[in-house]
Structure 1
Amino acid sequence: MNSQIVLTKDELAATPSASNIVGNRGRTITLLVFLTLLNILNFADRFLIQGFAVDMIRDLHLSNLEFTLLTGFVFTTFYTVMGLFMGALADRVHRPRLIAFGIFSWSALTAATGFANNFMQLGLVRMFTGVGEAVLTPAALGILGDRFKQHQRAFAAGFYYLGAPIGIGAAFIIAGTLGTVVGWRNCFFILGAIGVVLTGFLFLLREPRNEQQIQHAASKRPVTAVFAEIRLALRASPALCLLILGGVLVIFAQGAFVLDQVWLVQEKHLGRQHAQQLAGIMFIAGGVLGSLLGGYLADLLQAHRAGGRLWFLALIYLLGVPVGYIYRLLDTTGMAFYICMFIGRMMITIGYGPLFACLQDLVPVQLSSTMTAFMILCMTLFGTSLGNLAVGVLADVFRTAGYDTPITLAVMVGMAPWLLAIPCFVMAARMMETSVAKSFAGDVAV
């Protein structure tokens, strides 16, 4: 099968041309930086609860399972399901305005987190926070896909995903510094207020598509057609299916890191504030390098061979994942522990750019946001949520069984699917190479 869906003539006419989608370089870079800033806020809001893991588990009397439910299924169920429809909506409406709605919603609910007094109250707030956050990435990556040339997409997506390490790192640093001064509740109030203020700037952003293209998409493709479009895309491209499966396996393994703050304090015996600040610095330093390096090197390899971004993912995980296992067994008194921790943070973010750039290569432009949302749904619901839940359950089981390091054992089991992602990327890369070779052979024959 071909790796790309065949478009009808009407759909081709509604697809933006290269001259329309690649605008002024300065405005394009400004747009990338601003959307990345919003993504930083997105991840900071989302992971602040993990930065305050020790405090919130203590103050709200939460078990490990309850805490992992809050960071996993309670949040991601609404985040992913609503994200699918928000992604379909982003393909059909003015995307900057849609993003503005999402940011205002999640920021107001982030502030409301500061009022929670128990598991049920916090669960309800987290649930609806996910609805607002579901808007940003499908719409933002769709806009960036329109504004950047194909050979720059992994870098653009990787730069956008700087929001992950910087936002996560900022959440831990806020918890370890500002949190000790004003308390965890006030930190949620402050971040929520910042998001509400940033909402106004969204109305200054330009939509790369013109009104005619938006109206065409809205009239010819109702949102209710989203499931049929996704099914068509998956049937048309086995490589796309393998890409999504590989992404799910990678994110499942990363979901096992949800108890890292508790692990550093309880099993590695670091002070709470030191653990928060260390995690923040490592997320920013290692994560930023991983995002930039991943996007740049994947684009570089893609320029030399078909499926290059997928080969990059397979190679980098083959080399990097074993370091994650070594890291769990090292003593914190040696430099090797911090080196492995840094590499581990790189591994968390290094695949974002290549993954989402490959996705955009495998689907038509008018399905970009829809399929981005579907991939996020799969990676979050079956990756992050199940990974969080698995490590929470295993940690409690191992603790009950009397093991001295229950979280270490739980995380090492939870990371195993990371290795299974490697053959998925290899097979998808080979499919892309075969598809390109057949296409080339057909052109020569003609």
Structure 2
Amino acid sequence: MTSWKKSPAAVLITLIVLSVMAQIDRNMLLGFSPQITRDLMLTNGQYGFLVGAVWVLSFGVMAVFLGSLADRFSRPRVIAAGMLIWSVCTAASGHAHNFEQMALARFFVATGEAALVPAAVALLVELFSEQRRGTAIGIFFIGIPVGTGLSFLLAGHLGASLGWRSTYTVLGIVGVVMALPLAFLREERGQGREQNATPQRGEPFVAQMRAMLRVVGQNHALLLALVGFVLFHMVYASFAFTQLWMVRERGFDAASIAKTIGALQIVFGILGGLVGGVLSDRLAKRFAGGRASFMVLLIALCAPFMIAYRFVPAGSPLFYVGMCAGFFLPLALYGPSMTLLQALVPANMRATLTGFSMLLLNLFAIGGGSVAVGMASDSLMKLGSTHALTIVLLATDILTLSSGLLFWHLARKVRQGRVALDLSGGPAVQAH
């Protein structure tokens, strides 16, 4: 085994730092949304395209391709190449002067960031034991709330002094410096622990995709897990418009609410990642439906607060509880859901499957969802609605929570013994 892989904790910490950086670069547009939409004269539909659809056109497709590369070649070097691309284009975002230029820069930021998650998840599944795998994956995805929260905090604190353009430039330079050491890391992988084991390296892209799609098509449990995974990401379609909703329809000040959103996103996102990862590892064997049952419980606990959040008075205690539940839930689901997905495919296509899941969630949730939210709210505003975003964001909440129905059905299959999960790190046992 390559020497750096003998320290799983150090690998996890490094991946968390990279994830935080990726999320800051990605979500700085959210933190500076009032300023950027004003300076570039963007409509809600254009803004929704920048935070959503452009990611589908690049991140989703490239996640599958780069995931297949991570199954074949050095995962650290795949990550390093991606980070160099996204950092250079983050700096370029600060020089955009219209919608088209910002869209082009965001396209290539997404291209680079597509390398990280597939390679990182496959590494963590390999390096951590069954008893710690959900925790490791959950902790890795803490980079999402930390990075997203920091993007709002940076926007709130640097908006007046540095401005959004200079902030983008500085972030790009920092990312390039961080990526260079990764390019020198070598990685060696064998061809399986046993003579007849599934090879640990994947096939060329076309063959790899065909093999993975066969597994998906033949595995009903994997289909349920994938659809549920995509549905709970609808919450991120609403996150893209959270600050605009609070400023335009709830009367909050842009700078002050950006700081509040950032701080709560960090605290409850971290809490979600830790609780979801740790408890799923400890409690999965105690539930008849395993990790799927655990996820159903989490969704059921958060659902009432997330719905009430859209109706209660702004600034009330229940308002903030609902907001925090929305920040908590998706991160709490990452550890168990990713562990479940990885357990349903062979070891040599785990990064490819992760990339495929990224494509699906970006196509149907983050990308399509964000554009749909923007266009639907624009249409309702033209019809005279004064609560257009409230109505549309409530719909995204309902779709998010409907993922619980899929996980409930999956839990039933597990309880009935119709699903075999392999969490050993070797080839997966196929579900019936």
Partner of residue 267, structure 2: 285
Structure 2: which 5+ residue stretches go unaligned? 194-198, 422-432
Partner of residue 150, structure 2: 170
Q: Does 1:44 align with 2:24?
A: yes
Partner of residue 226, structure 1: 208
Structure 1 residues 209 and 434, CA gap change in structure 2 (3 angstroms): farther
Two-structure CA RMSD over aligned residues (Å): 2.3
Partner of residue 46, structure 2: 66
Q: For residues 239 and 419 of structure 2, what CA distance do their matches in structure 1 show?
A: 40
Q: For residues 243 and 371 of structure 2, what CA distance do their matches in structure 1 show?
A: 16
Structure 1: which 5+ residue stretches go unaligned? 1-18, 440-446
Structure 1 residues 22 and 298, CA gap change in structure 2 (3 angstroms): farther
Partner of residue 10, structure 2: 30
Q: Does 1:146 align with 2:114?
A: no
Amino acid at match of 2:38: R
For the 8 Å contact 1:239–1:427, the answer to whether it is kept is no
For the 8 Å contact 2:40–2:99, the answer to whether it is kept is yes
Secondary structure of the residue aligned to 2:161 is: helix
Q: For residues 256 and 286 of structure 2, what CA distance do their matches in structure 1 show?
A: 44
User: Alpha-carbon deviation of 1:205?
Assistant: 4.4
Partner of residue 364, structure 1: 346
Partner of residue 75, structure 2: 95
User: Alpha-carbon deviation of 1:208?
Assistant: 6.0
Secondary structure of the residue aligned to 2:233 is: helix
Q: Does 1:299 align with 2:284?
A: no
For the 8 Å contact 2:81–2:183, the answer to whether it is kept is no
Q: For residues 200 and 231 of structure 1, what CA distance do their matches in structure 2 show?
A: 34
Partner of residue 171, structure 2: 191
Q: State the identity %.
A: 33
Structure 1 residues 211 and 229, CA gap change in structure 2 (3 angstroms): closer
Partner of residue 377, structure 2: 395
Aligned mate of 2:227, from 233, 239, 245: 245
Instruction: After superposition, give the CA deviation of every residue in 1:161-211 in whole Å (9 maximum; x if it has no partner).
Output: 010000000000000001221100011011111110101231464536259
Structure 1 residues 300 and 438, CA gap change in structure 2 (3 angstroms): closer
Secondary structure of the residue aligned to 2:310 is: helix
Aligned mate of 2:245, from 251, 258, 263: 263
The normalised TM-score by structure 1 is: 0.89
Segment drifting more, 256-265 vs 196-205? 196-205
For the 8 Å contact 1:57–1:67, the answer to whether it is kept is yes
Q: Does 1:410 align with 2:426?
A: no
User: Alpha-carbon deviation of 1:256?
Assistant: 2.2
Q: For residues 123 and 137 of structure 1, what CA distance do their matches in structure 2 show?
A: 22
Structure 1 residues 397 and 21, CA gap change in structure 2 (3 angstroms): farther
User: Alpha-carbon deviation of 1:269?
Assistant: 1.0
Instruction: After superposition, give the CA deviation of every residue in 1:327-383 in whole Å (9 maximum; x if it has no partner).
Output: 111223422222222222111311111111111111111111010111111111111
Secondary structure of the residue aligned to 1:416 is: helix
Instruction: After superposition, give the CA deviation of every residue in 1:389-435 in whole Å (9 maximum; x if it has no partner).
Output: 12111211121111221111110122221232112111222223434
Q: For residues 398 and 314 of structure 1, what CA distance do their matches in structure 2 show?
A: 33
Amino acid at match of 2:146: I
Aligned mate of 2:111, from 128, 131, 142: 131
Partner of residue 422, structure 1: 404
Amino acid at match of 2:156: G
The normalised TM-score by structure 2 is: 0.91
